[in-house]
A and B are shown apart, each in its own frame.
Chain A
Amino acid sequence: MTSAPKDKELKPWEAYIPQHHWRNATDEAEGAKLGMWLFLSTEVLLFAGFFCAYAFFRLLYPENWHDASRYYLDWEIGAANTAVLLLSSFTIVLAIRAAQQGNRGMMLIHLGITQLCAAFFLIVKLGWEYWPKIRDGKLPGIFFDYPAVYAQRAAEKAMIVAPDAIIPAAQVAGDYASTFTPGAHDHIFLSIYWISTATHGFHVLVGMFVIGWAMWKAYKWHYGPRHYTSLENVGLYWHIVDIIWIFLFPLLYLV
């Protein structure tokens, strides 16, 4: 038995050799990063379609845009999600730094925080944004049903608040309704909101999968000072998801 002592065994990142068609590992890493940047450019152009549609309809219906953003969206939730995504971008950079230093523990901790941030984002998105909107009829296009649902809910609320009150419930509902003046094209604003945030949310979900994959590779010692290409690419992907949200947030919530 001539096997080397256990502490002399090379870890995967130390033993890494490039694929057969690359001349050296540097070329391979640079090539992978170039490929990733090209992919990011396709992501930017993909969302550019939404941004163009947004700009187009905002020019067509500016007042409507202004009001719809206030009526239907809650900027505080959006701001919380923005903060969380910014934090996650920072932690994934720290994870790459930990890889450069060969610190597996910190790498896993930072990737874990990133993962938690992503989960937080999605849970808030689904539970505090999408679900109430579906319930209230704040849906895109032909499914847009907000005023009707709103009046009904206002009436219910009036019954709960003042069951014995002299003021008839209907009048209360009317008062509620008078504070809400739906624009003619609210459903278009909500269409853009839904398709762009849902596509972004899908990207966050994909991001959670690839970060999970990176965590598994980190756990198996595939990342170290000399080889962390795929971790860096996952980081790049996560940054673009973050950046797209940073554009979506003010455009949709802070109009």
Chain B
Amino acid sequence: MAHHDVSYLAPKETFLKTVMSWVYTIDHKKIGLMYLVAVLLMFFLGGVAAMLVRAQLWEPTRTVFVSEDGSVYMNPAEAPEGERDSLKTETRGIFFQPITTYVSRPAVNLLSGSTVGAVITASQDGSPSVSLPESDGQTSNPLNIALTDDGSPIFTETTDQRGNKVWELRRENPDSDEPGPVLASITVDGRGNPSAEAGSGLSTRKTTIREPGSTITTNNIYNRMFSLHGTIMVFLFIIPSIPAALGNIFLPIMIGAKDVAFPRLNLMSWYIYVFGGIFALYSVIAGGVETGWTFYTPYSTTTDWGSVTSMLLAAFILGFSSIFTGMNFIVTVHKLRVPGMGWFDMPLFIWALYATAIIQVLATPVLGITLMMLVFERMFGIGIFDPALGGDPVLFQHFFWFYSHPAVYIMILPAFGVISEMLAVHCRKRIFGYRAIAFSSIAIAAISFLVWAHHMFTAASPVANVIFSALTFLVAIPTAIKVFNWIATMYKGSIAWTTPMLYSAFFLFCFTIGGLTGPPLATLSTDIHLHDTYFVVAHFHYVMMGGTVLAFIGALHHWWPKFTGKMYNEFWGQIAGWTVFVGFNVTFFIQFFMGTQGMPRRYATYSPEFELMHKISTFGSWLLAIGFLIHLVVFAHSVFAGRKAPRNPWGGLSLEWETESPPLEHNFAREPVLTHGPYDYDTVVPPHYDPALYPLPERSDNAPSHH
């Protein structure tokens, strides 16, 4: 262990120097670790938002008490003594905030069935006025008149001194026989001309509009919560999660390099990420956004709620971080592979990161310019997306999805990469179909640019829909190639049921469901019905969470011993894994059924028939949260009290297992010499590997022969 020098990680003489050693570092491992901490923090933040969204849907309405002057109380005891008896109950959403503004509208509208009899309105100061529409001289039947607010009308027919007919309108009083004061009277003179005037009973009466079930405030909070969840999870968590955090730490080590090609650019990418994160957090504090993470126009250009501009700039800035990471990775893979490592000697994780980096570099600028145009639109009213000025809001959707569809492959491709690594290592078997997996990553990257309009089947032209529908089905081919190759890799492997392996299996289960629910959405006829329903929500989460997040958690366990130098508790890791898996499926599987039955997404409330399904889904989200909390405890325990990790706890063959745990400052004591490929489990004994150190299958049929 002469070269076991990890002093670059150790605390320095003073606290300030320790902090500065991280602030100014250009070491890819430290930058990756900082990214890791940040994305986990963002995962927590986005998760809290998701929990609140589910909480709202657990019980979208609750009963509140409203007094006559419009004050709202959660509990009748809060009301002043005198008002308690006159409180009325109403239902409001769970994010209810007492609101004091009410919308005034005409106090009483008198409408007859076929022709308008008379309209009585209250002006802003409460004084009533009665008007009659133009009449052909014949009075309409006043008995046809109805009150638009509650209460039944009573009409009394009298005759005044001149012999004209007068109908007096009163409100029926259910508590006594005495009718209320006269609301209005309509007089018809001898020639049949009607006239009307307001009565005394109308003078103070005002109605307010309140929607039962939820108020504007509640719905806005709900909108903010799911928008917060979406923007944080997409731009701040899932896109940088595997590439910028784990990729940064492991890409150079796995190709035998000392660092990424541009270490300073790497640090800059990290600070741009922080800078963008500050914009996003400012937006949240300043009121958040209610546009969803997709920022669709015209809503995003017209809403003045919260801080949309700040969130747009955050996504714009974060795009640069993503671009720089991608550029760095491409050049690193091209130029810094250890001598002797050809393209097909690279671990598949590197292939996946390479394909991801291509998308990052080619797609993100388009998002950047789209968001800039949206910012210009909001700030200067340039009109490109504004139909009132001759612009086209659907153009925004095209621009947005031209980036954001490839972006979902930025999210999932690195997950494919780590699954290839974890399956091979923990099944102790040569990966099946190496080249097919490698090329399918590139194929997915290429196809990803040609399918964006399948997000817009209800908005784009029919011809384009047919083309994009057909192209979308192409994605299934490389994806299925991967899944079949992974299953073939597991076949007859000696599977070690470690937490990473467990998560690989979870991934295969959930991602396959997510993948197979894609074709119904790519099919035009079914997508028209499933569009914007919970079916889409479930599909997306099965791919993104059941795919990327499960792979990310698995990868964290897989490489945890390497980058922290500590082992984690295997038993509790697996308990947490199962909790997450069960919680995930309980949360999202039911949403497929909700979607097919017509539950639209992004709604703060729902019809009663969805109540049970929503409650099941919310219950699952609690299980998920518990699972993640157990993981957090397991990781914390490992950091503070974990057993020291050996160099190669799983018996892996790629280069990161040949260096120390945690790796040395420049990754290797000397430039590694390639003596075997990353998946040569049938011919090579893994280096530094002691089977006694960590659970592995007790007996395996195809264990490597020692000769």
User: Which of A's residues lie within 8 Å of B, judged by CB?
Assistant: 19-22, 27, 30-32, 34-35, 38-39, 41-43, 45-50, 52-53, 56-57, 60-61, 140-143, 184-185, 187-188, 191-192, 194-195, 199
Contacts and interface: CB of A to CB of B under 8 A. Distances in A.
Interface in B247-302: 252, 257-263, 265
Contact of A21 (B336, B361, B366, B380): B336
Given A21-B261, A42-B361, 13 more contacts: A32-B262, A35-B261, A35-B265, A35-B331, A43-B365, A45-B366, A53-B395, A57-B390, A61-B390, A142-B381, A184-B390, A191-B382, A195-B382
A35 B328 contact: yes
Contacts of B376: 140, 191, 195
A46 B365 contact: yes
A144 B212 CA distance: 44
Contacts of A21: 252, 257-261, 263, 336, 666
A143 B265 CA distance: 39
25 contacts: A22-B335, A31-B334, A34-B330, A34-B334, A35-B265, A35-B327, A35-B330, A38-B327, A41-B361, A42-B323, A45-B366, A46-B365, A46-B369, A48-B366, A49-B365, A49-B370, A49-B373, A49-B399, A53-B384, A61-B390, A140-B382, A140-B383, A192-B384, A195-B372, A199-B369
B368 interface: yes
Contacts of B336: 21-22, 27, 31
Q: Is the interface of A mostly helix, strand, loop or mixed?
A: helix
Which 10 A-B pairs give the minimum distances between C-beta atoms? A49-B369, A142-B381, A191-B382, A21-B258, A141-B383, A141-B382, A21-B259, A46-B365, A45-B365, A31-B335
B310 interface: no
Nearest to B367: A49
A38 to B, nearest CB: 5
Contacts of B334: 31, 34
A203 B376 CA distance: 18
A32 B365 CA distance: 20
Contacts, number: 126
Interface of B: 252, 257-263, 265, 323, 326-328, 330-331, 334-336, 361-366, 368-370, 372-373, 376-377, 380-384, 386, 389-392, 395, 398-399, 666
A46 B366 contact: yes
B324 to A, nearest CB: 9
A155 B391 CA distance: 32
A140 B328 contact: no
A45 B328 contact: no
B381 A143 contact: yes
Nearest to A33: B331
Nearest to A198: B376
Given A20-B258, A21-B258, A38-B331, A185 B390 contact: yes
Which of A19, A45, A60: most chain B Cβ within 10 A?
A45
A49 B366 contact: yes
A141 B262 CA distance: 42
Contacts of B390: 57, 60-61, 184-185, 187-188
A43 B320 CA distance: 12
Contact of A38 (B330, B370, B383, B389): B330
Contacts of B369: 46-50, 199
B456 to A, nearest CB: 15
Nearest to B667: A21
Given A43-B365, A140-B380, A143-B381, A188 B391 contact: yes
